[in-house]
Structure 1
Amino acid sequence: MWTDGRYFLQAAHQMDNNWTLMKMGLKDTPTQEDWLVSVLPEGSKVGVDPFIIPADQWKRMSKALRSAGHDLVPIKENLIDTIWTDCPQRPCKPLITLDLSYTGVSWRDKIVALRSKMAERKVLWFVVTALDEVAWLFNLRGSDVEYNPVFFAYAVIGMNTIRLFIDGDRDEPSVREHLQLDSTLEPEFKIQVMPYGSILSELQAVGAGLSPKEKVWLSDKASYALTEAIPKAYRYLTPYTPICIAKAVKNASETEGMRRAHIKDAVALCELFNWLEKEVPKGTVTEIIAADKAEEFRSQQKDFVELSFATISSTGPNGAIIHYKPVPETNRTLSVNEIYLLDSGAQYKDGTTDVTRTMHFGTPSAYEKECFTYVLKGHIAVSAAIFPNGTKGHLLDSFARSALWDCGLDYLHGTGHGVGSFLNVHEGPCGISYKTFADEPLEAGMIVSDEPGYYEDGSFGIRIENVVLVIPAETKYNFKNRGSLTFEPLTLVPIQTKMIDVNLLTQKEVSETVGFHCLLCTRTSLFCSVYKNHWPLFHFIDPESNSELILNLIQL
């Protein structure tokens, strides 16, 4: 079993002795293809379902196996499906239509923009395989995949045709009206709705009808099966599609929607923190109860749809399991003696949230405060960074780790990921990571997370996460007229200041922390007054442990 640093502890706990854990990213861990080469008999064939492996991974694995005298071969029938007699049917739930107040751009205008990119690259056809790209392109959302507002579909866009491959009775009146299926449209905007399962045969027909020099554009993350449907000479493959990039750069309507969503999320979490402060000392709040309560407060907000991922509610040693999910067998009770880490988020109709806060309901130790403050310093270093246009996210990763590195600490996950607008909470092509993957440069309008952490196995976990918007930065000079960028925090949830050792912060870091709390007070206090007669933030801040910080906050 291969997995990365986010899951090392979890995998070790959940797998029995029949499994060997391969810790990806460590020096002595072989890749899957290297391991296969080391154990296979001479001239072996490795069978893979071509519908569930991306084309780029197939290419890499096939090359490695072939160089060692082996073959990677597609199998026609998935063997797991053959024996899985009670396999549930693929979900086919109703769709949600989004109007211009949420999307800012109509699906017709998105098709026009896509065709313009196709013309630039001299391709005749574009195949949309990523579910969030289909949803974004047509301004539709679904619920076929838990926590992700997407639906099972493909799309094939030609210069004069639009084909949407989708199953089930999903063309209810609102969807038909949204897609203008019953309207008299110009032929180039008339959508042909086709069965989901016909995508392979349709692509094969497209490939068979191509003339020399005509191309079909696919992502290299599309399945090998669909990629092979187009003859190699006619394929145009790229790591990121123009839809992926356009989706990542939010327009004015999307950014305003994300701001609204994060205000609502802040209200819900401040209500939660207020409740936890009162209930945890009673010894009756478990990880599961806290997670359920967070969902309850969020569900009271306008346009709440669902959670954006399974809530990570972890106290004490469970906090060191980076992607921990509480279950009855592991469910711990929150106490005044342990650190509590809550990583949670929601899907609202106007935006997607993802926030992590680490807190203590008693008195944190000096070491816990020290570790928390190093993480906070890294969080601030990223959020306050000013960097040139064209900078890729991986160049900012060391900003988040520097304070931890200075004292010999680190964390085994990336620092940030792209966030969708009422779409997947993890999206490409941007990110902040130690891995120099082929991420696109950060652009104004992109939204990413800023989430450094530190994890002490068997003791505690610390993570501080905000979602931030890339915006233009004003600088004294402008080298080569290239311009600069910085971040605006969208997350407006308070940071528990009793966890901070102020003596470890610079004056600039204190100012940044004060400024962040002033911003969230300004943007959310009016909304909180609807629910309470007091602002829960100040109940959540311990003035005795950080008098200088609170004094500055009150003065401002």
Structure 2
Amino acid sequence: MFQTFTAENSPEQGPPRLIALRRALADAGVQGFLVPRADAWQGEYVAPRDARLAWLTGFSGSAGFCIVLPGIAGVFVDGRYRLQVRQQVAPVFTPVDWPEVSAGDWLRDHLSEGVVAFDPWLHTAAEIAAIEKALQGHPVRLQPTENFVDAVWHDQPGPAIRPAFAHPEELAGESSAAKRARLGAALAAAGQATAVLTLPDSICWLLNIRGADLPRNPLVQSFALLHADGSVDLFAHAAKFSDALLQSLGAEVRLAPEEDFAVALTQLKGPVRVDRGTAPWAVQDLLSHAGVSFVWGDDPCRLPKACKNAAEIAATREAHLRDGAAIAEFLCWFDGRAEAVCGGAVETEIGVVTALEGFRRATNQLHDLSFETISGAGPNGAVIHYRVSEDSNRRLEPNSLMLVDSGGQYKDGTTDITRTMAIGTPPEGAARAFTAVLQGMIAVSRARFPAGVAGCHLDALARAPLWTLHCDYDHGTGHGVGAFLCVHEGPQRLSRVSDVPFLPGMILSNEPGYYREGAYGIRLENLIVVREAAPLAGGDAQRRMYDFETLTWAPFDRRLILVEELSRAERDWLDAYHAEVLAKIGPRVSAEVRAWLERACAPL
């Protein structure tokens, strides 16, 4: 469950592995190599076989990449991981602030000429095009090659091959045949013969299947070709599919070995739709060399998958109520442990993770966690995507904060919730920062906005209270969430850089935060779903308006709320929210926890 820095992933292994990789590059006559976090499916989680970045550098974050050159090896990470990367990589690697510094600009600064190799299956066409654009006029060129990390990783694990299973139509809300026919007709209307599907969550959604090839995400790693007639060629290991599952998929879904995908691309009749932002570079290269006409276009499954139907929303509401009861049991338990810690008892971050998972498993309906629980005590809470390990496991201390970000995968929905709790007297300044974070979360929760508004328009609502304190946070305010699929789902986001308009049925997280390095972290998170807003008296009836329905039900720590800083509207929202938490969750918990919940949810 918990990461330990063993011989397989210890930072101390980085220097000899970097030497071996550089030797292989020199033998091949190339000056550099791109090492992404991503696998061929561009997912946040990767199987052990594909954890090349972690194997080489020791960095275990969910986003980033390394560029290895003869004299420098840069590890590129965004604001979520800048503390973490310094803790995890050896000094032979140089952390680089990304995206402030792009790969192309960094290469121009650090390599005067030569060839930088890349694995054509591990980078998207858009990614490679951006680097090549930055290198225009500079004597450095990119070249697709074999994977040099694989060449020196002598004990690399084999591929994950685990059984796939059907996702019931009553939870999916639509049959696979209906989805395929609908999307196939859209391809035909656009004059396209086939769409290339390389995202496992798109394929799982389209075929109403789930799997276990990756930790925490119920995915089947596969590729697929969706044709205009609604049929699908599916490329995956046959051992994942039982005869019964294949029969349920029907004759219009044809299974072939994963290794046949490349050849199948060369035999297509165009026009073929390819998603430039998600498909491996190799796809467009294979099509081009085979003379198959193709056009750039969005993965046809992503937007329909993001807009949950009524059945999916109803199911995920139930999953959140079940999860909310487990969270209430946990928060009650944590209050008792926090009081004990202030009296001298010992509790640790791992103890918190273990207890929380136990409460979720006690529902007898937990399929898996939706991601590795972030359990950050004191200064560890300031590491935005902190993952506790046996080596980092910190004891809880009096007069500190505890940040817990966690979620569950249930067959009827995916949850993700963050709460920050006080242990004894909050540190100086923590309550003011917590209140500002809460105000930002409330502002998003109360938002009402016209059709066409995107995440980039609403993101500032969450940050404005922190900005008044000259504070901010280095991550997006929210990500999309799947329906018993990936806890991080596109294309919708609540972020400064997202221009994808919100549509009814899109589920998002709402999670502003504040992080004081070396002291504590604060983050509060609920999941919300976009819906049609109820009309207002005197409003413009001609204008289509949306707002958010809250899905997550759990109290906020009253000891960290400065009530006098809240406006009347904010206070009313919080009182109404807590009253609903009590009404929805109270009947689902033990008598002891209900009594605690009544106190936690009392009006301010």
Q: For the aligned residues, what is the CA RMSD? A: 1.7
CA distance in 2, matches of 1:119, 1:17: 54
Other-structure match for 1:254: 312
How far has the Cα of 1:464 moved from its partner? 0.4
CA distance in 2, matches of 1:501, 1:74: 57
Query: For the structure 1 residues 171 and 16, does the alpha-carbon distance in structure 2 shift closer, same or farther, using more than 3 Å as the test?
Result: closer
SS class of match (1:33)? helix
**Do 1:303 and 1:350's aligned partners in 2 also have CA atoms closer than 8 Å?**
no
* TM-score with structure 1 setting the length: 0.91
CA distance in 2, matches of 1:473, 1:308: 30
2:583 to 512, 522, 527: 522
Alignment of 1:225-264 (within 5 A): 225-231=282-288, 234-238=293-297, 240-264=298-322
CA distance in 1, matches of 2:160, 2:595: 42
CA distance in 1, matches of 2:431, 2:201: 40
CA distance in 1, matches of 2:594, 2:379: 34
Alignment of 1:130-145 (within 5 A): 130-145=199-214
1:39-58 Cα deviation digits (max 9, x unpaired):
2233x221110000011111
* Structure 2 residue 124 is the aligned partner of structure 1 residue 54: yes
How far has the Cα of 1:303 moved from its partner? 2.6
1:314-340 Cα deviation digits (max 9, x unpaired):
110001000001112211112332100
How far has the Cα of 1:480 moved from its partner? 7.8
Alignment of 1:467-478 (within 5 A): 467-474=527-534, 475-478=536-539
1:206-247 Cα deviation digits (max 9, x unpaired):
1xxx3xxx4101111200001222128721112x32210000
Query: For the structure 1 residues 233 and 533, does the alpha-carbon distance in structure 2 shift closer, same or farther, using more than 3 Å as the test?
Result: closer
CA distance in 2, matches of 1:60, 1:23: 17
CA distance in 1, matches of 2:485, 2:244: 20
Other-structure match for 2:33: none
Other-structure match for 2:525: 465
Alignment of 1:84-99 (within 5 A): 84-99=153-168
CA distance in 2, matches of 1:25, 1:199: 32
Other-structure match for 2:557: 496
CA distance in 1, matches of 2:93, 2:242: 47
Alignment-mate amino acid for residue 269 of structure 1: I
Alignment-mate amino acid for residue 94 of structure 1: P
* Structure 2 residue 70 is the aligned partner of structure 1 residue 12: no
**Do 1:250 and 1:445's aligned partners in 2 also have CA atoms closer than 8 Å?**
yes
Other-structure match for 1:36: 107
1:67 to 137, 149, 152: 137
SS class of match (1:534)? helix
**Do 1:271 and 1:536's aligned partners in 2 also have CA atoms closer than 8 Å?**
no
CA distance in 2, matches of 1:242, 1:397: 26
How far has the Cα of 1:100 moved from its partner? 1.5
How far has the Cα of 1:498 moved from its partner? 1.3
CA distance in 2, matches of 1:126, 1:324: 38
How far has the Cα of 1:249 moved from its partner? 0.2
CA distance in 2, matches of 1:487, 1:534: 27
**Do 1:249 and 1:446's aligned partners in 2 also have CA atoms closer than 8 Å?**
yes
SS class of match (2:527)? strand
How far has the Cα of 1:478 moved from its partner? 5.0
Alignment-mate amino acid for residue 448 of structure 1: L
Other-structure match for 1:215: 271
Query: For the structure 1 residues 254 and 551, does the alpha-carbon distance in structure 2 shift closer, same or farther, using more than 3 Å as the test?
Result: closer
Alignment length, in residue pairs?
521
**Do 1:261 and 1:348's aligned partners in 2 also have CA atoms closer than 8 Å?**
yes
Query: For the structure 1 residues 551 and 91, does the alpha-carbon distance in structure 2 shift closer, same or farther, using more than 3 Å as the test?
Result: closer
Other-structure match for 1:278: 336
CA distance in 2, matches of 1:383, 1:73: 47
Query: For the structure 1 residues 284 and 140, does the alpha-carbon distance in structure 2 shift closer, same or farther, using more than 3 Å as the test?
Result: same
* Structure 2 residue 245 is the aligned partner of structure 1 residue 195: no
* Residue segments in structure 1 that go unaligned for 5+ positions in a row: 182-189, 542-549
CA distance in 1, matches of 2:182, 2:98: 39
CA distance in 1, matches of 2:221, 2:259: 11
CA distance in 2, matches of 1:60, 1:410: 29
1:357-408 Cα deviation digits (max 9, x unpaired):
0001312245211110000000001110111111011111110010110111
Query: For the structure 1 residues 334 and 481, does the alpha-carbon distance in structure 2 shift closer, same or farther, using more than 3 Å as the test?
Result: same
* Structure 2 residue 198 is the aligned partner of structure 1 residue 129: yes
SS class of match (2:492)? strand
Alignment of 1:279-298 (within 5 A): 279-280=337-338, 281-282=340-341, 283-298=345-360
* Structure 2 residue 387 is the aligned partner of structure 1 residue 317: no
* Structure 2 residue 598 is the aligned partner of structure 1 residue 538: yes
**Do 2:410 and 2:484's aligned partners in 1 also have CA atoms closer than 8 Å?**
yes
CA distance in 2, matches of 1:326, 1:317: 12
**Do 1:274 and 1:540's aligned partners in 2 also have CA atoms closer than 8 Å?**
no
Alignment of 1:151-550 (within 5 A): 151-160=220-229, 161-181=231-251, 190-206=252-268, 210=269, 214-220=270-276, 221-231=278-288, 234-238=293-297, 240-280=298-338, 281-282=340-341, 283-365=345-427, 367-434=429-496, 436-437=497-498, 439-474=499-534, 475-479=536-540, 481-529=542-590, 534-540=594-600, 550=602
Alignment-mate amino acid for residue 327 of structure 1: S
* Residue segments in structure 2 that go unaligned for 5+ positions in a row: 1-74
SS class of match (2:441)? helix
How far has the Cα of 1:479 moved from its partner? 4.3
How far has the Cα of 1:299 moved from its partner? 1.2
SS class of match (2:239)? coil
**Do 1:274 and 1:539's aligned partners in 2 also have CA atoms closer than 8 Å?**
no
1:56-113 Cα deviation digits (max 9, x unpaired):
11111122224323321111x2111122221111101111211111100000000011
How far has the Cα of 1:173 moved from its partner? 3.9
SS class of match (1:46)? strand
2:170 to 66, 89, 101: 101
Alignment-mate amino acid for residue 217 of structure 1: R
CA distance in 1, matches of 2:600, 2:397: 16
SS class of match (1:378)? helix
SS class of match (1:417)? strand
**Do 1:430 and 1:440's aligned partners in 2 also have CA atoms closer than 8 Å?**
yes
How far has the Cα of 1:130 moved from its partner? 0.4
Alignment-mate amino acid for residue 286 of structure 1: T
Alignment-mate amino acid for residue 34 of structure 1: D
CA distance in 2, matches of 1:141, 1:2: 32
SS class of match (1:413)? coil
Alignment-mate amino acid for residue 452 of structure 1: P
CA distance in 2, matches of 1:508, 1:341: 27
Alignment of 1:78-89 (within 5 A): 78-89=147-158
SS class of match (2:552)? coil
SS class of match (1:21)? strand
**Do 1:339 and 1:461's aligned partners in 2 also have CA atoms closer than 8 Å?**
yes
CA distance in 1, matches of 2:134, 2:589: 58
CA distance in 1, matches of 2:394, 2:164: 38
How far has the Cα of 1:477 moved from its partner? 4.8
